[in-house]
């Protein structure tokens, strides 16, 4: 399962990637809370800069 954070008209949202679509999770859900603080800390250690995603997972 793949997750993404994307910018929407309502602000940043989290979603589940399914093929070419991102299915929005309920408002207020963020990936660090969803995956747990250890995953967020580990990801930030490997990321060279803050990441942003569009609605299309192919825009990596």
Which tens digits make up the pLDDT trace of 10-41? 899 999 999 999 999 999 988 888 877 676 55
Q: Output the six-digit token pair for 52.
A: 């942003």
Question: pTM score, two decimals?
Answer: 0.57
Kindly give, in sequence order, each residue whose CB lies less than 8 Å from that of residue 2, ignoring residues fewer than 6 positions away. 16, 17, 57
Find residue 18's DSSP bridge partners.
Answer: 21
Q: Report the alpha-carbon distance of residue 23 to residue 59 in Å, rounded.
A: 16
Mean of the pLDDT values across residues 2-6?
91
Helix, strand or coil, per DSSP, at residue 3: strand
Q: What is the DSSP letter of 17?
A: E
């Amino acid at each position: 399962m793949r997750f993404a954070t994307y910018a929407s008209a309502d602000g940043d949202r989290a979603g589940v990637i399914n093929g070419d679509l991102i299915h929005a999770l309920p408002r207020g859900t963020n990936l660090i809370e969803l995956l747990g603080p250890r995953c967020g800390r580990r990801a930030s250690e490997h990321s060279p800069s803050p990441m942003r995603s569009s609605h299309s997972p192919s825009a990596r």
